[in-house]
Amino acid sequence: MKATVETSLGPKEIDLSLPLDISIALKSGSDNVSAWNVGPVKIEPVVYGDFIGSVAAGASINFNNVLLNPHGNGTHTECVGHITEEVHSVNDCLKTFFFEALLITVDPELVVESTHEAESGDRVITQRMLEAKIGKQKPEAIIIRTLPNTDDKKTKTYSNTNPPYLLESAAKHINTLEIKHLLIDLPSVDRESDGGKLLAHKAFWGYPDSVRFDSTITELIHVKAEIPDDLYLLNIQITSLENDASPSKPTLFCLK
């Protein structure tokens, strides 16, 4: 099925039968991507008296409980409620689901001298990198793929590894461009251990002075190497979950 959409480049055709899934699938057990020292995903049959919710165990249906942490167990989309005392739900903040999105690839650079934004030895994404890749474009969403881009991102344990992250100035640049949705293949836009400063989260959302309630951050995506940097139509799918974050399934469609 094909459709025509209006973009900043004029009318473009998309083929809805050719989605490019950039989420990471969740399965039961430890063979998943994980972060923040959360436990593994558990998908287990309901047990109630003599009933076991598994066809293999003799039931007529499979009837499973699912236990996971949205932030630590895979691809997820979060709203500003992630960092506020007030309760804000991603289900309330994300009200439209298709966006013009720019995919860029960056190689985080090594910090050699500590600053208020980063510690020596960290690998970071800078404003300069984003300016070079985005230029004068103002897409609704930015998708950041980092190098090296290997398949182990789909099962990597990020806890206590100090992964790369965005500098506060880089996040401010995205805010200045009025890009509403930020997607990244890392566990966080901020440093794993930053003493609770959350500089990039706050800069992106404009917190606390000019909060962008309709903006989202999606973390722990995976963009295959064969998908080229370009402009795409992005669909962000979430569960109707009243929480600051939800497991999500971002999907790209090529614009022709």
Residue 229 lies in a domain: yes
Which pair of structure tokens corresponds to residue 108?
């985080």
In this prediction, residue 214 has a pLDDT band, given cuts at 50, 70 and 90, of very high
- What range does the domain containing 208 cover? 2-26+70-254
pLDDT for res 174? 98
What CA–CA distance (Å, rounded) separates 70 from 49?
A: 30
Residue 176 lies in a domain: yes
Residue 63 lies in a domain: no
Residue 32 lies in a domain: no
For the chain, strand residue ranges (E) read 2-7, 10-15, 20-21, 42-45, 47-48, 51-52, 64-67, 76-78, 98-106, 109-110, 123-125, 141-146, 165-166, 181-184, 216-219, 231-235, 245-247, 251-254
Which pair of structure tokens corresponds to residue 244?
């600051």
What is the per-residue pLDDT across 106-165, written as a single tens digit (0 to 9) for each? 999 999 999 999 999 999 999 999 999 999 998 999 999 999 999 999 999 999 999 999
Is 0.95 surpassed by the pTM of this model?
A: yes
Indicate the average pLDDT of the chain.
97
Dihedral, CA of residue 53, residue 59, residue 60 and residue 65, to nearest 10: 10
Residue 170 lies in a domain: yes
What is the per-residue pLDDT across 181-198, written as a single tens digit (0 to 9) for each? 999 999 999 999 999 999
pLDDT beyond 90 at 1: no
Structurally, the chain folds into a number of domains equal to: 1
> Nearest 5 degrees, angle CA 30-CA 34-CA 36?
125
**Average of per-residue pLDDT across 214-234:** 98
What is the per-residue pLDDT across 54-94, written as a single tens digit (0 to 9) for each? 999 999 999 999 999 999 999 999 999 999 999 999 999 99
Residue 144 lies in a domain: yes
Residue 35 lies in a domain: no
CATH code at position 132 = 3.50.30.50
pLDDT beyond 90 at 9: no
- 99 forms beta bridges with 234
What is the per-residue pLDDT across 162-173, written as a single tens digit (0 to 9) for each? 999 999 999 999
Residue 59 lies in a domain: no
Q: Computed from CA positions of residues 94, 96, 102, 104, in that sequence, does the dihedral angle turn out positive or negative? A: positive
What CA–CA distance (Å, rounded) separates 182 from 145?
A: 11
